[in-house]
Amino acid sequence: MPADYHTHTPLCRHASGDPEEYIDAAVAAGLSAFGLSDHAPVLPEPFDDWRMFEHQLPEYFQLIERARKHAAGRIDVRCGLECDWLPGCESWIADLAARHPWDYLIGSVHYLDDWDFDNPKWLGRWAESDVEALWTHYWQTYAAMARSGLFDIMGHADLIKKFAFRPAGDLRRFYEPAIAAIADSGKAIELNTAGWHKPCAEAYPADAFLALACEAGIPLVISSDAHAPTEVARDFPKAIELAKSCGYAETVLFEQRTRRNEAL
Ligand code: ZN
Ligand code: ZN
Ligand code: FE
Ligand code: FE
């Protein structure tokens, strides 16, 4: 089984479970490695109510140490963060990157302007939105995140479809410029299985995106985005099938921000 690098902790205030429970689930699933990547702090605080505070970083490192201790001799534990791509965030991401020997950083677009569009709290806003314009804005933002080169893994590429608001027609017109930017950056993407459990009822990204990404030579990881121990490695067999059907024969592993391949 590939590694599962995209998982959360209670520090973000919308995940549950002890690190030991996540490790037990990862070992039971036979993963090659397990990684934590909780929602990174953003300044100035409080930025919103779904991430750790800056002063909690030491607590986060303690959770990772607990996971390592519990996992010793059974599975490798990697440490990362899921960082938000926000206008002008570059120096903050560089600051965070220098604070710890991270194994990888995940970059995610959860915000368009001041709207965390994937937050169910603001679902009503979608009904009165221009979906085509939002998608255009989202993918331009996503491509800019890729071009920054600040992240090892580009998170849940088409999260914008979460509530199943999709423009009409062939969506590859949105995917292609983003894929070109990611391929240029040399960074990896993730196949995030959480989307199967959201209104969009599809993994992130869609299979058409994955096929184009594979063709462009973009490396892949498979992630659960677990917010509870029971979600670790969720749907991985199905994800492996999907990745293979889109042309992938390997995924990648990270250690100290270097990457190596592993056969699927
Ligand atoms: Zn979350
Ligand atoms: Zn660490
Ligand atoms: Fe996310
Ligand atoms: Fe996440």
**7-40 pLDDT per residue, tens:** 999 999 999 999 999 999 999 999 999 999 999 9
C-alpha of residue 47 to centroid of ligand 3, in Å? 16
Work out the pLDDT band at 232, boundaries 50, 70, 90.
Answer: very high
C-alpha of residue 38 to centroid of ligand 4, in Å? 7
Using an 8 Å Cβ cutoff, are 134 and 117 in contact? yes
Work out the pLDDT band at 255, boundaries 50, 70, 90.
Answer: very high
C-alpha of residue 51 to centroid of ligand 2, in Å? 18
Task: Write down the mean pLDDT value for the chain.
Answer: 98
C-alpha of residue 256 to centroid of ligand 4, in Å? 20
The pair of structure tokens assigned to 218 is 């973009």
- Domain 10-263 falls in which CATH fold? TIM Barrel (3.20.20)
pLDDT at 175: 98
At position 33, the amino acid (one-letter code) is A
Sign of the CA dihedral 90, 95, 98, 102?
negative
**Considering just the CA atoms, what is the radius of gyration of the chain in Å?**
17
Model pTM?
Answer: 0.98
Work out the pLDDT band at 178, boundaries 50, 70, 90.
Answer: very high
Q: pLDDT tens across 77-109, in order?
A: 999 999 999 999 999 999 999 999 999 999 999
What does each C-alpha distance from 216 to 29, 96, 179 come to in angstroms? 30, 30, 7
C-alpha of residue 156 to centroid of ligand 3, in Å? 7
Q: With pLDDT > 90 as the criterion, what percentage of the chain qualifies?
A: 100
pLDDT at 191: 98
C-alpha of residue 161 to centroid of ligand 4, in Å? 15
Q: With pLDDT > 70 as the criterion, what percentage of the chain qualifies?
A: 100
Residue (of 77, 104, 82) closest to 23 by Cα position: 77
C-alpha of residue 72 to centroid of ligand 2, in Å? 14
Three-class secondary structure of residue 69 per DSSP: helix
- Ligand with minimal distance to 109 CA: 3
Residue labelled with tokens 């549950």: 16
pLDDT at 81: 98
Work out the pLDDT band at 226, boundaries 50, 70, 90.
Answer: very high
pLDDT at 183: 98
C-alpha of residue 149 to centroid of ligand 3, in Å? 18
A 10 A CB-CB count for 237 gives 10
C-alpha of residue 205 to centroid of ligand 4, in Å? 14
- Dmax of the chain from CA atoms? 53
Using an 8 Å Cβ cutoff, are 193 and 238 in contact? yes
**Distance, CA of 33 to CA of 80 (rounded, Å):** 13
**158-171 average pLDDT score:** 98
Residue ranges per domain, the chain? 10-263
Using an 8 Å Cβ cutoff, are 183 and 216 in contact? yes
C-alpha of residue 256 to centroid of ligand 2, in Å? 9
- Ligand with minimal distance to 49 CA: 1
pLDDT at 120: 96
C-alpha of residue 229 to centroid of ligand 2, in Å? 20
Helix (H) or strand (E) holding 97: helix 90-98
pLDDT at 197: 98
Q: pLDDT tens across 115-152, in order?
A: 999 999 999 999 999 999 999 999 999 999 999 999 99
C-alpha of residue 184 to centroid of ligand 4, in Å? 24
C-alpha of residue 8 to centroid of ligand 1, in Å? 7
C-alpha of residue 202 to centroid of ligand 4, in Å? 16
**Distance, CA of 74 to CA of 201 (rounded, Å):** 33
C-alpha of residue 227 to centroid of ligand 1, in Å? 7
CA angle 246–82–44, rounded 5-degree value:
145
Q: Name the region of 80 (left: φ>0; alpha: ψ -120 to 50; beta: rest).
A: beta
For residue 176, what is the DSSP state?
H
- The rounded Cα 173 to chain-centroid distance in angstroms is 22
The set of residues, in sequence order, having a beta carbon less than 8 Å from that of 137 and lying 6+ positions away, is 112
C-alpha of residue 231 to centroid of ligand 3, in Å? 14
110 exposure class (CB count in 10 Å sphere: 0-12, 13-18, 19+)? buried
